[in-house]
Amino acid sequence: MVNPQLFPTNKGTLLPAATACNAEQAPAYGFSPRHQLAQLVATGCLSRTFYANADDQLDQALALTQQLEPAFIAKAAIYGRQTGYMKDMPALLAATLAVRDVGLLSQVFSRVVDNGKMLRNFVQILRSGAVGRKSLGSRPKKLVQHWLLTATEKQLLNAAVGNTPSLADVVKMVHPKPAEAWRAAWFAWLIGRPFDEAALPPITQAFERFKREAAQGEATEVPDVPFQMLTALALSTAQWAQIARQGSWQMVRQNLNAFARHGVLEQASMAEAVAAKLSDPQAVAKARVMPYQLMAAFTAAGEAVPAAVRDALQTAMELSLSNVPTLAGRVVVCPDVSGSMSSPVTGHRGAASSSVRCIDVAALVAAAVLRKNPDARVLPFEQDVVTLRLNARDSVMTNAQALANVGGGGTNCSAPLALLNRERAAVDLMILVSDNESWGGAHRYGATPTMREWAVLKQRHPQARLVCIDIQPAATTQASERPDILNVGGFSDAVFSLVANFAAGTMEAAHWVGEIDKVPLAAQ
């Protein structure tokens, strides 16, 4: 008689056997090259994560670009920048096109390299030799020149903040030939050559005057230059307040503690003015802020930051999640709170590492779904499901913090499914938010535990759908792609729209690659 534990009787459709191993060497399903690149372009940060170092991620991305057609790479670069709001990976993909298909690079350059930071990223990746060349080449050089020769003074000043390379390095590399006198003077000023101050554009002229006046203790009106250009100067509290008033939404969000240290938020009406800026719906939308960035600001805000400003961050969080859908039916959302989720969401970058962890983002997704779907059930899990009661009326920030405080333990993505099956619970949509590196309960052969438990649930509820959101880039998943299972990567709020469309049956399971395929290469 055969061993029934090795050869159990399985009802329903034969489950696909695992085709790969994940980072924990547990059985998993490997993604196609296109899907792997889709995951990377939405989540890839080219930094060390819990399971992968930066070199591994770079090697994986470069290997994929050699396997895939340049048109898909170009579309992925646009998608990653415009929909995922990523920086490193879109710049890398654009740089590979400089080697693979320079014509396509010309088509997508302005849509990927849309600010000075992206321009410097693109140039640095090319000159590093990582994509197979160290020179820009004639066409990429012309594209960089065109950006420099068409950017506004404000765009150039913003681009001038940062190094490796600095904008001055870029100008020296590509030698732009400006037609306007102001631009010629500005480039000379940037690279340290003699210049005619009277020919400089107005903001840069004001900055030069301000530096002289500040040195003599006479400066009053603060020029509208990037915040970083002013920090080395001796500024009064009133001048710091002016910086806060005229600063961009993102700059203000990032420097609340600095404003508090310099007494800005103690000045009459300044706390209210900063709070009004942070909670302005149009400003939040224009800033393309990721919800986790607001969580980072809220968490990092010190005691000196007034309650009104902290409340404004919570309001901005609710605004940033305005497209979280109301989902029909019985919804279960399962955030992974295991030990591996303690990794910074954008990878380890030394002193520049984000304070936001993968577990914070998973908790944020769960709390946001609960906010818009009060009857949703939240099942945090690690090796097993963790008992935690949440109030749907609490703010997204409050519930996200409660979930993120759980943390620890191994990873078993099948645990919440197993619980639902033991309870014989009714489920229409299940959302699993994890790093997908599950090993708990793994079998040596056949399907993964997640697929086994999903098959049991599907016997009770054939219409049920499963969405697996991967917080960090991976080449594998615990649930094999098929019409009722969607694997999606990313932590921008765009993911919510995809989940809603899939849950409503208006999007195929293969949409993740399909969404990138639909990106038009010609500018709209």
Average pLDDT over residues 43-66: 67
Instruction: Say yes or no to pLDDT of 509 above 70.
Output: no
Average pLDDT over residues 147-172: 95
Euclidean distance between CA atoms 176 and 108, whole angstroms: 21
What is the model's pLDDT at position 477?
81
pLDDT digits (tens, 9 = 90+) for 99-125: 999 999 999 999 999 999 999 999 999
Instruction: Give the strand order in the sheet containing 429-434.
Output: 377-378, 331-335, 429-434, 465-470, 485-489
What is the model's pLDDT at position 141?
96
Instruction: Say yes or no to pLDDT of 4 above 60.
Output: no
The fraction of the chain above a pLDDT of 70, given in percent, is 88
pLDDT digits (tens, 9 = 90+) for 363-395: 888 888 898 899 999 999 999 999 988 888 888
In the block, tokens 């309650």 appear at 307
**Domain at 326-517, CATH from 3.40.50.410, 3.30.870.10, 2.60.40.10, 3.30.428.10:** 3.40.50.410
What is the model's pLDDT at position 50?
37
What is the phi/psi pair of residue 357, to 5°?
Answer: -100, 165
What is the model's pLDDT at position 323?
66
Instruction: Say yes or no to pLDDT of 516 above 90.
Output: no
Other C-beta atoms within 10 Å of 221: how many?
11
pLDDT digits (tens, 9 = 90+) for 223-241: 989 988 988 888 889 999 9
pLDDT digits (tens, 9 = 90+) for 303-332: 999 999 999 999 998 888 776 778 989 999
Instruction: Say yes or no to pLDDT of 11 above 60.
Output: no
- Identify the band that residue 48 occupies on the pLDDT scale cut at 50, 70 and 90: very low
* CA 114 and chain centroid, separation: 16
In the block, tokens 């030939």 appear at 177
Instruction: Say yes or no to pLDDT of 45 above 60.
Output: no
Euclidean distance between CA atoms 403 and 82, whole angstroms: 30
Instruction: Say yes or no to pLDDT of 472 above 80.
Output: no
Contact 68, 35 (CB under 8 A): no
- Identify the band that residue 463 occupies on the pLDDT scale cut at 50, 70 and 90: very high
Q: How many residues does the chain have?
A: 524
Highest mean pLDDT among 41-45, 47-51, 465-469: 465-469
What is the model's pLDDT at position 174?
96
Euclidean distance between CA atoms 512 and 466, whole angstroms: 14
Instruction: Say yes or no to pLDDT of 417 above 60.
Output: yes
Contact 380, 401 (CB under 8 A): no
Euclidean distance between CA atoms 332 and 165, whole angstroms: 47
Euclidean distance between CA atoms 449 and 429, whole angstroms: 19
Tokens of 279: 């909670």
pLDDT digits (tens, 9 = 90+) for 251-291: 999 999 999 999 999 988 999 999 999 999 999 988 878 77
What is the model's pLDDT at position 351?
53
- Spatial CB neighbours of 365, under 8 Å, sequence gap ≥ 6: 333, 335, 431, 433, 469, 491, 495
Contact 404, 431 (CB under 8 A): no
Question: What single letter denotes the amino acid at residue 318?
Answer: E
Euclidean distance between CA atoms 392 and 376, whole angstroms: 9
- Identify the band that residue 51 occupies on the pLDDT scale cut at 50, 70 and 90: very low
- Identify the band that residue 52 occupies on the pLDDT scale cut at 50, 70 and 90: very low
Instruction: Say yes or no to pLDDT of 497 above 80.
Output: no
Question: What single letter denotes the amino acid at residue 157?
Answer: L
Q: 36-40, 215-219, 278-282: lowest mean pLDDT where?
A: 215-219
The fraction of the chain above a pLDDT of 90, given in percent, is 48
Q: 82-96, 202-216, 343-357, 469-483: lowest mean pLDDT where?
A: 343-357
Average pLDDT over residues 140-159: 97
| Average predicted confidence (pLDDT) for the chain | 86
Asked whether the bond before 165 is cis by omega within 30 degrees of 0, the reply is yes
- Identify the band that residue 445 occupies on the pLDDT scale cut at 50, 70 and 90: low
